[in-house]
Amino acid sequence: MHASFVRSPYSHAKILKINISEALKLDGVEAVLTGEDVIKWSEPFVVGVKQPMEHWCLGVKKVRYVGEPVAIVIARDRYIAEDATELVNVEYDLLPPVMNIESSIKSNAPILHEKVKSNIVSERNFNYGNVEKAFSLANNIVEIDVEYPRNSCTPIECFNVISEYSDENKSYNVLSNFQGPMALHPVMAMALKIPGNKLRLRAPQNSGGSFGVKQAVFYYIVSISLASKKVGRPVKWVEDRLEHLIAATSATGRKSKISAAITKDGLLLGLKIIQYDDCGAYLRAPEPASLYRMHGNLSGAYSVKNISLKNYVVLTNKTPSGLNRGFGGPQLYFGLERLMHKISKVLNKPHLQIIKTNLLPQNSFPYKTPSGGILDSGNYQKAIQKAEKDGGLEELEKRRRGKRKVGKLYGIGFAAVVEPSISNMGYISTVLSHEERLKAGPKNGAYACATVSIDPLGSISVTIDSLPQGQGHQTVVQQLVASVFSIDPKNITVSSDLDTHKDGWSIAAGNYSSRFGGAVAGTVYLAAQKLFLKLKTIAAKNMNINVEDVIFQNDLVFSKNNPDNKITFSRLAGSSHWSPDTIPDAMAPPLRETLYWTMPQHKAPNEKDEINSSGSYGFIFDYCGVEIDQNTGKVIIDKYVTTHDAGTLLHPEIVNGQIQGAFAQAVGASLYEEFKYADNGEFLSGTFADYLVPTANEIPEACILHISTPSPFTPLGSKGVGEGNSMSTPVCIANAISDAIEQDKITLPMTPPKLWGLISKKEDLPKNLNLEITDEKKKISVELYQNYTNKKFWKYIKNKLRNIV
């Protein structure tokens, strides 16, 4: 059966009545699932903060964002299901919406969740070092207020769910392009009121991109599962683009205020940070993680020791927020790196000089940050040096001088960013107080799991838990394992699908926090090594030589001293299947190795609220030159240089593909993309003609440079690399625009109309243009609209235009 959702057209309303009788009459319609079923068969989703908030898998009694599902029509095919959604009659009683952070936190604001009594659902204060003293010693205090918009990476493939309820076992069998984190598996099982082993969740080997976004399909896995229970048959739902844009998920919008206490040279003595995150209508797991993923690296690439932080989680009548590439990073660094730029302007010193003044010194790694992060390795000075030299910074500065000489608006922007990867599953509990954490029990770690198996013909299968969606993990693993055994990569297959009933996994499994390079590939390597050492021992025994004399090379295994004493790899590898006798006593057979790996550095948050929120931390230094078209306000990215230190690079082409891809999405976030709402809550970005994703003509090729300081904490020395430019590029472009137009208030996306508004002066407007809105003009525009379908439309317009001009 096929499902189609009935969604709320209103951002805030009471549901008075749902009439499904007309829908049920339509031939082919099997049933309609509503809030009544949902209350009977499920629970609200668990929430990451201690608040009496009810988030059901359909809007129950109330809707809180445009697009919130209120019913599901289940029918023979999708066309009929969609027809029937129009026949479901929902009566609403409209409530005033809250559409931004400012209005949401006002004391008289309409309340989204009555039982919570406030739209601020979490408030936490943190203090590291001695901030007040730092501010009292400062030569200068620089402040900046910034906002980061709500947007998303909008994968071209939307959400998919097929769920089958078994009445016999009271269980659900689900296939979905879910990407993890598998920490959401218990969240789904609890919502469905079943033990974990009654929710079999499978994700396929191949699915379209995700960029974090497909985490949010978990909400629909629960509702489609209930739909299957309703009809007693498998139910399939394929999200369409309009549903995706309006109601799937969004990065959090953020308002921050940062004050810096600085010396006359621009050295940071202390930071006071206040952050408000707009999480939309419900705090949906794993939120408020956007605020806490960056907690360990709050101080970025800088050596500042004294930091105070106030975090507020705010609800508004918008789509709930969730994972989105960079998750928390774009928001944090937009404030921090705009601040560094502003400090340079206030002190009238070069921006890069201010960055260099504050960078962590070369030999300070591993470095413990004030908020508890352990930055594993790096050489920030070397990366910047490389960027300056190989990226051609001097040339670019010359170009800026030349452009400015002829009256062009041209600016250079910089950004230095620490890119965290391999999330510590305990970081989210930083939102709780230490006492609350003690009660809930410690949360920490992040197990990666990999299995390497050998079949009777001696070929190798590898299973990984990273659920890749286009990042080429399979290719990297194939090459990695081939190199361990010195065999042809063609003899290795990699399974990247996941079946919770058959595969190894932990709550940390999935495609997020750039955990592949550091954690998953490393775990594969360790598992393969274990098998390799066993095979080597068996070979030594059977070839009658010392273990250290066994050589694996080009699909052969032979003795170092006598190459004729040899066996093919496939024969050796398959021997445990055929002749267990050849295995030395007491050795477990080298048939299959499943290995779980986590890091000892991943501790739970401590009583001082210190948390090492990630496992490894890469470094990015970006700069760019932009020119602004003074006639249109369009930003032209003239040159973009991005230098990365991601430790050991496992596959340079794939790494560069990740960097260019993240860069392109970040250009979209900087210049075009935003989920916009009208003040009355109406959603304004519901198609790809309104939500503007950049095309090949808008994205230049970034100049990508690398240095490598391997991580001492990951098995291969590698770090995550896929999210860095999501964090560095928006603020780098914003800094360049600020440099070009010599203005401070830069809000993304910097669309041409917005920018034109900043650079145009009254005298730029055509002299004879009368912008005053008169009643006559209003009347004409209404008539134009009403006559839009009129056959004499063009003639009509011509006549009217003649009158106006």
Partner 1 sequence: MSKILGSKKSISFTFNGTKVEKEVEPRILLSDFIRDSLGKTGTHVGCEHGICGACTIHLNGRAVRSCLTLAVQVDNCEIHTIEFISGKYNGLNIIQKNFKKYFALQCGFCTPGIIMSLCDYLYRNNNPSEQEIKDVISGHLCRCTGYSSIIKAAVESAKEINNAE
**Size, binding site for partner 1 by CB under 8 A:** 44
Which is nearer to partner 1, 83 or 638 (by Cβ)? 83
Does position 801 bind partner 1 by CB under 8 A?
A: no
By the rule CB under 8 A, 594 interacts with partner 1? no
Out of 198, 241, 408, 571, which residue is the one contacting partner 1 (CB under 8 A)?
Answer: 241
Q: How many CB atoms lie within 10 A of CB 110?
A: 14
CB 722 → partner 1: shortest distance, Å? 10
CB of 26 to partner 1, least distance (A): 6
Q: Which of 223, 665, 711, 728 binds partner 1 (CB under 8 A)?
A: 665
Please identify, using beta-carbon distances, which residue of 27 and 775 lies nearer to partner 1. Answer: 27
The window from 142-150, 191-199, 260-268, 650-658 that contacts partner 1 (CB under 8 A) reads 650-658
How many other CB atoms are there within 10 angstroms of residue 713's CB atom? Answer: 22
Closer by beta carbon to partner 1, 611 or else 705: 705
For residue 765 the two structure tokens come to 């407007």
699 binds partner 1 per the rule CB under 8 A = yes
Minimal distance in Å, beta carbon 323 to partner 1?
Answer: 15
274 or 699, CB closer to partner 1?
A: 699
CA distance 578 to 70: 59
d(C-alpha 733, C-alpha 740), whole Å: 10
Binding flag, residue 693, partner 1 (CB under 8 A): yes
How far apart are CB 505 and partner 1 at their closest, in Å? Answer: 22
Contact status: 204 vs partner 1 (CB under 8 A): no
Show contacts with partner 1 in window 69-88 (CB under 8 A): 78-80, 83, 86
Nearer to partner 1, 19 or 781 (CB): 19
Q: H or E segment at 577? A: helix 569-578
Angle 329-347/351-358 helices, nearest 10 degrees? Answer: 110
Radius of gyration of the chain (CA): 29
Minimum CB distance to partner 1, residue 695 (Å): 4
The window from 53-61, 364-372, 689-697, 744-752 that contacts partner 1 (CB under 8 A) reads 689-697
Nearer Cβ to partner 1, position 335 or 668? 668
The single residue among 130, 166, 630, 660 that binds partner 1, judged by CB under 8 A, is 660
Taking CB under 8 A as the rule, does residue 471 contact partner 1? yes
Residue 662: CB minimum distance to partner 1, A? 8
Buried b (16+ CB within 10 A) or exposed e, 132-155: eebbeebeeebebebbbbbbbbbb
653 touching partner 1, by CB under 8 A: yes
d(CA 396, CA 391): 9
Per rule CB under 8 A, is residue 469 in the interface with partner 1?
A: yes
Does 156 engage in binding with partner 1 (CB under 8 A)? yes
Any contact of residue 248 with partner 1 (CB under 8 A)?
no
Does 26 bind partner 1 (CB under 8 A)? Our answer is yes
CA-closest candidate to residue 254, choices 293, 310, 167, 312: 312
In 3D, which of 471, 210, 436 has the Cα closest to residue 322? 210
Residue with smaller CB distance to partner 1, 154 or 259 = 154
211 binds partner 1 (CB under 8 A): yes
DSSP codes joined into one string, 169-184: TTEEEEEE-----TTH
> Smaller CB distance to partner 1: residue 141 or 699?
699
One character per residue 290-319, x = contact with partner 1 (rule: CB under 8 A):
------------------------------
For position 688 contacting partner 1 by CB under 8 A, the verdict is yes
List binders of partner 1 among 324-343 (CB under 8 A).
none
598 binds partner 1 (CB under 8 A): no
CB atoms within 10 A of CB 591: 18
* Axis-axis angle for helices 218-231, 184-191 (nearest 10): 30
Intra-chain end-to-end CA distance of the chain, in Å: 58
For partner 1, which stretch binds (CB under 8 A), given 121-129, 234-242, 355-363, 423-431?
234-242
**Contact stretch for partner 1 (CB under 8 A) within 65-73, 527-535, 654-662, 674-682:** 654-662
Backbone φ/ψ region at 510: left (φ over 0), alpha (ψ -120 to 50), beta: left
- Whether a cis peptide bond, with omega within 30° of 0, leads into 420 is no
CB 309 within 8 Å of CB 273: yes
Q: Which is nearer to partner 1, 610 or 622 (CB)?
A: 622
Q: Answer yes or no: are the C-beta atoms of 419 and 659 closer than 8 Å.
A: no
By CB under 8 A, which span of 108-116, 155-163, 350-358, 423-431 interacts with partner 1? 155-163
- If one counts every other C-beta atom within 10 angstroms of the C-beta of residue 771, the result is 7
Residue type at position 151: N
* Contact call for residues 345 and 143 (beta carbons, < 8 A): no
Strands (E), 537-586: 550-553, 556-559, 566-568
Based on CB atoms, which residue is closest to partner 1, 123 or 157?
157
The closest alpha carbon to 50, from 100, 123, 107, 103, belongs to: 123
**Which of residues 32 and 339 has its CB atom nearest to partner 1 in the complex?**
32
Task: Provide the b/e sequence for 164-200 (b: ≥16 CB within 10 Å).
Answer: bbeeeeebbbbbbbbbbbbbbbebbbbbbebeeeebb
Half-sphere exposure of 449 (CA within 13 A, CB side): 19
Nearer to partner 1, 79 or 578 (CB): 79
Residue 23 or 374 with smaller CB distance to partner 1: 23
d(CA 662, CA 154): 13
Contact region with partner 1 (CB under 8 A), list: 11-19, 265-273, 574-582, 697-705: 697-705
Residue 338 neighbours by CB under 8 Å, 6+ apart: 144, 146, 731, 734, 735, 738, 746
Residue 206 touches partner 1, criterion: CB under 8 A: yes
**Given 56, 516, 663, 672, the residue binding partner 1 (CB under 8 A):** 663
Q: How far is the CB of 203 from partner 1 (least distance, A)?
A: 14
Residue 653 Cβ vs partner 1, minimum distance, rounded to whole Å: 5
Alpha helices for 306-379 (secondary structure H): 329-347, 351-358
**Quick one: 358 or 670, whose CB is closer to partner 1?**
670
> Quick one: 564 or 701, whose CB is closer to partner 1?
701
Cα–Cα distances (Å) from 635 to 37, 128, 524, 699, 741, in that order, read 51, 39, 44, 11, 11
Q: Any contact of residue 661 with partner 1 (CB under 8 A)? A: yes
Q: Which two tokens stand for residue 70?
A: 């209120």
209 binds partner 1 (CB under 8 A): yes
- Enumerate residues 6+ apart whose C-beta is below 8 A from 402: none
Q: Is 2 left (phi over 0), alpha (psi -120 to 50) or beta?
A: beta
Secondary structure in 3-state letters for 155-167 = CCCCCEEEEEEEC
With contact defined as beta carbons under 8 Å apart, do 237 and 220 qualify? yes
DSSP at 220? H
Nearest CB to partner 1, comparing residues 445 and 722: 722
Smallest gap from residue 749 Cβ to partner 1 (A): 16
User: Site for partner 1 (CB under 8 A): which residue of 234, 472, 489, 752?
Assistant: 472
Under rule CB under 8 A, residue 207 binds partner 1: yes
For the chain, the maximum distance between any two Cα atoms, rounded to a whole number of angstroms, is 102
**Token pair of 381, please?**
């000075």
CB of 155 to partner 1, least distance (A): 6
By CB under 8 A, which span of 201-209, 257-265, 379-387, 550-558 interacts with partner 1? 201-209
Numbers of helices and strands, H then E, in the chain:
23, 29
Give least dist CB 636 to partner 1, A.
15
Residues that bind partner 1 (CB under 8 A): 26-27, 78-80, 83, 86, 153-158, 206-209, 211, 240-242, 469-472, 653-654, 657, 660-665, 687-689, 693, 695-697, 699, 701-702
